[in-house]
Amino acid sequence: MPDEKPAALGFEAALTQLESVVERLESGELPLEETLKLFERGVELRDRCQKELLQAETRIEMLVRRASGVQPEPFDPEANS
Protein backbone atom coordinates (compact mmCIF):
# COMPACT_ATOMS: atom_id res chain seq x y z
CA MET A 1 0.00 0.00 0.00
CA PRO A 2 1.63 3.28 -1.03
CA ASP A 3 2.30 5.76 1.74
CA GLU A 4 1.34 8.71 -0.45
CA LYS A 5 -0.82 11.22 1.39
CA PRO A 6 -4.48 10.91 0.36
CA ALA A 7 -4.69 14.67 -0.25
CA ALA A 8 -2.07 14.26 -3.00
CA LEU A 9 -4.09 11.57 -4.78
CA GLY A 10 -6.67 12.11 -7.47
CA PHE A 11 -10.16 10.78 -6.84
CA GLU A 12 -9.75 7.63 -8.92
CA ALA A 13 -6.41 6.70 -7.33
CA ALA A 14 -7.81 7.27 -3.82
CA LEU A 15 -10.90 5.20 -4.62
CA THR A 16 -8.79 2.34 -6.05
CA GLN A 17 -6.62 2.32 -2.93
CA LEU A 18 -9.70 2.44 -0.71
CA GLU A 19 -11.16 -0.59 -2.48
CA SER A 20 -7.88 -2.43 -1.95
CA VAL A 21 -7.88 -1.52 1.76
CA VAL A 22 -11.44 -2.80 2.16
CA GLU A 23 -10.60 -6.09 0.44
CA ARG A 24 -7.60 -6.64 2.70
CA LEU A 25 -9.58 -5.78 5.83
CA GLU A 26 -12.42 -8.09 4.81
CA SER A 27 -9.99 -10.98 4.41
CA GLY A 28 -9.64 -11.18 8.19
CA GLU A 29 -6.10 -12.53 7.79
CA LEU A 30 -4.15 -9.52 9.11
CA PRO A 31 -2.55 -9.08 12.51
CA LEU A 32 -4.22 -6.55 14.79
CA GLU A 33 -1.58 -3.81 14.43
CA GLU A 34 -1.63 -4.02 10.63
CA THR A 35 -5.43 -4.03 10.68
CA LEU A 36 -5.47 -0.83 12.71
CA LYS A 37 -2.98 0.91 10.40
CA LEU A 38 -4.92 -0.21 7.35
CA PHE A 39 -8.20 0.91 8.87
CA GLU A 40 -6.69 4.35 9.57
CA ARG A 41 -5.51 4.55 5.97
CA GLY A 42 -8.99 3.60 4.80
CA VAL A 43 -10.53 6.42 6.84
CA GLU A 44 -8.08 8.91 5.31
CA LEU A 45 -8.86 7.68 1.81
CA ARG A 46 -12.61 7.75 2.48
CA ASP A 47 -12.34 11.34 3.68
CA ARG A 48 -10.40 12.28 0.54
CA CYS A 49 -12.98 10.69 -1.75
CA GLN A 50 -15.86 12.25 0.16
CA LYS A 51 -14.28 15.70 -0.06
CA GLU A 52 -13.82 15.34 -3.82
CA LEU A 53 -17.42 14.18 -4.30
CA LEU A 54 -18.79 17.07 -2.24
CA GLN A 55 -16.78 19.53 -4.34
CA ALA A 56 -18.12 17.97 -7.53
CA GLU A 57 -21.68 18.10 -6.20
CA THR A 58 -21.28 21.77 -5.34
CA ARG A 59 -19.96 22.57 -8.82
CA ILE A 60 -22.87 20.72 -10.44
CA GLU A 61 -25.42 22.53 -8.28
CA MET A 62 -23.88 25.89 -9.20
CA LEU A 63 -24.00 25.03 -12.91
CA VAL A 64 -27.61 23.87 -12.70
CA ARG A 65 -28.69 27.02 -10.89
CA ARG A 66 -26.88 29.26 -13.33
CA ALA A 67 -28.17 27.44 -16.43
CA SER A 68 -31.82 26.97 -15.55
CA GLY A 69 -32.68 28.73 -12.35
CA VAL A 70 -33.80 25.36 -10.94
CA GLN A 71 -33.24 24.77 -7.25
CA PRO A 72 -31.59 21.38 -6.66
CA GLU A 73 -33.14 19.06 -4.11
CA PRO A 74 -31.35 16.39 -2.07
CA PHE A 75 -31.65 12.91 -3.54
CA ASP A 76 -34.06 10.70 -1.61
CA PRO A 77 -33.77 7.08 -2.79
CA GLU A 78 -36.97 6.15 -0.93
CA ALA A 79 -39.00 8.68 -2.90
CA ASN A 80 -37.70 7.34 -6.21
CA SER A 81 -38.44 3.65 -5.67
pLDDT in tens, 15-69: 999 999 999 999 999 999 999 999 999 999 999 999 999 999 988 888 887 777 6
How far apart, in whole angstroms, are the C-alpha atoms of residue 72 and residue 9? 29
Residues 68, 40: contact at Cβ < 8 Å? no
Q: In order of start, what are the domains of the chain with their CATH numbers?
A: 6-68 (1.10.287.1040)
Q: Residue 67 has what pLDDT?
A: 78
- pTM (two decimals): 0.74
